Amino acid sequence: MKKKMLSLVLAGAMTAALLTGCGSTGADSGSAAAGTTNDTAADDAAATDDAAADDAATTDDTAADDAAADDAAAADNAGAADGAGGTLKIGGIGPLTGGAAVYGIAAMNGSQIAVDEINAAGGVNGMMLELNFQDDELDSEKSVNAYNTLKDWGVQVIDGCVTSACSIAVSAKTAEDNIFQLTPSGSAVECVANPNSFRVCFSDPNQGAASAQYIGEHSLATKVAVIYDSSDVYSSGIYEKFAGEAKNQPFEIVTAGAFTADNKTDFSVQLQQAKDAGADLVFLPIYYNEAALILKQASDMGFDVKFFGCDGLDGILGVENFDASLAEDVMLLTPFAADATDDLTVKFVTTYNEQFGETPNQFAADGYDAIYIIKAAAEKAGITADMSNEEICTALSAAMTEIQVDGLTGLGITWDASGEPTKDPKAVVIKNGVYTAM
């Protein structure tokens, strides 16, 4: 009998889950209609609803509110529907579970802070912003599923994806559907191949070439060793361009030690190679977790050398149980430093700390900037919530090349039609445990 009960309950749970899944999509698209086209949608919604029919006769606005309020699933929309200009639906996509979850969650939190701030300040052109962030599990197939889920929800602008491969997969679909896409941190070149896609962060080649030029121009070294993650798109992408640009610079690459995601704890071999080759600078186009281990192991083997990294190294001072003194004199090119003292950064870091209890990393800053860039472009293009996705896409894509945004990740950022941002990389050096501009 227990089994019987159990299977009945579970079968019921499954059916219920299936129904709620379908139900919420239906309800959401219904409320999307109510939110986007005020008059007609309100009438339609009211006509189907006898109770609201009376209200509809008096004022359209209240009918819209009623229709929205009727939707339990869209309860959070009800407040937004009050805005005179309706709601602009922004869909975010990124990894919220699995190994890369830290990036997706950071971007989501950063974006959410920006959305809240903008809504509190009265929205964009009178429109409220609404963010729906979907998980892609760092899988391009799932990211397309996430995108389709957002489409069912009635998304108008895509803020994603957080990672490169997913971003490429989704940008093929947004180009087909004519939905404007702005990736906060998809750094591979192909992410912005389509005319409707733009990015906030530097591209990989951009960072690699900029690093090589910086080292060359400032005569930081004559012999450079590189340690990079060959299984990571970001890391190998930067390395390739770095090595390409290095040929034009007054230094040579003496060794290039690669590691993969499967063995990223012991770097003594690569460090020994670099030491034997007499390198006076080690270039680390990798993320900070591995970099922290490399710094520790280099210090253990008495290898005293300069380290130079890219934006992935940002966050190294926050690694748990990491002796920050090891990072002394490490140089990095980064668009964002959490301990910068300008007002915008201080405000963002404080809010982030209050809401999520941690110091934001560069992905959070990219996510924050992405929303403000969408806002700037939407204001420039005069976007309203009742425009179709095609109109929004065309208008935003055109406006992107005309705006200039001062964000957390750079001042006076501009875009050209290729979708690449133009901003100056900031080189910082770690002195006495804090980032100091070079």
Q: Kindly list the residues in this chain that would bind another protein in the complex (CB under 8 A).
A: 3-4, 6-7, 10, 13-14, 17-18, 20-22, 24-25, 96-98, 134-135, 137-141, 144-149, 151-152, 164-165, 168-169, 171-172, 188, 190, 230-233, 236-237, 239-240, 243-244, 256, 258, 260, 262
Q: For residues 37 and 145, which CB has a smaller minimum distance to another protein in the complex?
A: 145
**Min separation Cβ 99 and another protein, Å:** 9
Q: Are 255 and 273 in contact (CB under 8 A)?
A: yes
Q: Are 307 and 330 in contact (CB under 8 A)?
A: yes
Q: For residues 59 and 260, which CB has a smaller minimum distance to another protein in the complex?
A: 260
**Min separation Cβ 174 and another protein, Å:** 11
Where is 271: in which H helix or E strand?
Answer: helix 268-276
**Min separation Cβ 205 and another protein, Å:** 11
Q: For residues 13 and 437, which CB has a smaller minimum distance to another protein in the complex?
A: 13
Q: For residues 287 and 322, which CB has a smaller minimum distance to another protein in the complex?
A: 287
Q: For residues 83 and 205, which CB has a smaller minimum distance to another protein in the complex?
A: 205
CA distance 247 to 370: 35
Query: Which neighbouring-strand residues pair with 422?
Result: 414
**Min separation Cβ 404 and another protein, Å:** 31
Q: How many CB atoms lie within 10 A of CB 361?
A: 22
Q: For residues 160 and 410, which CB has a smaller minimum distance to another protein in the complex?
A: 160
Q: Are 336 and 409 in contact (CB under 8 A)?
A: yes
**Min separation Cβ 430 and another protein, Å:** 29
Quote the tokens at residue 197.
């896609």
CA distance 111 to 92: 9
**Min separation Cβ 151 and another protein, Å:** 4
Q: For residues 116 and 240, which CB has a smaller minimum distance to another protein in the complex?
A: 240
Task: Give the β-pairing of 331-334 and 410-415.
Answer: unpaired
Q: Are 263 and 256 in contact (CB under 8 A)?
A: no
**Min separation Cβ 4 and another protein, Å:** 6
Task: Give the β-pairing of 331-334 and 426-431.
Answer: antiparallel
Q: For residues 165 and 403, which CB has a smaller minimum distance to another protein in the complex?
A: 165
Quote the tokens at residue 172.
């093929």
Quote the tokens at residue 358.
């941690």
120 vs 83, 112, 116, 126, 128, CA distance in Å?
11, 12, 6, 11, 9
3-state secondary structure of 78: helix
**Min separation Cβ 49 and another protein, Å:** 21
CA atoms within 13 A on the CB side of 96: 13
Identify each DSSP E strand in 260-399 by its residue range: 281-284, 306-309, 331-334
Work out the end-to-end distance of the chain between its first and last CA atoms, rounded to an integer number of angstroms: 73
**Min separation Cβ 169 and another protein, Å:** 5
**Min separation Cβ 92 and another protein, Å:** 13
Task: Give the β-pairing of 331-334 and 128-135.
Answer: unpaired
84 vs 58, 67, 163, 179, CA distance in Å?
18, 16, 35, 24
3-state secondary structure of 32: helix
Does the N-terminal peptide bond of residue 161 adopt cis geometry, omega within 30 degrees of 0?
yes
Quote the tokens at residue 433.
């445990």
Q: Are 391 and 400 in contact (CB under 8 A)?
A: no
**Min separation Cβ 191 and another protein, Å:** 10
Closest C-alpha to 250, from 281, 206, 229: 281
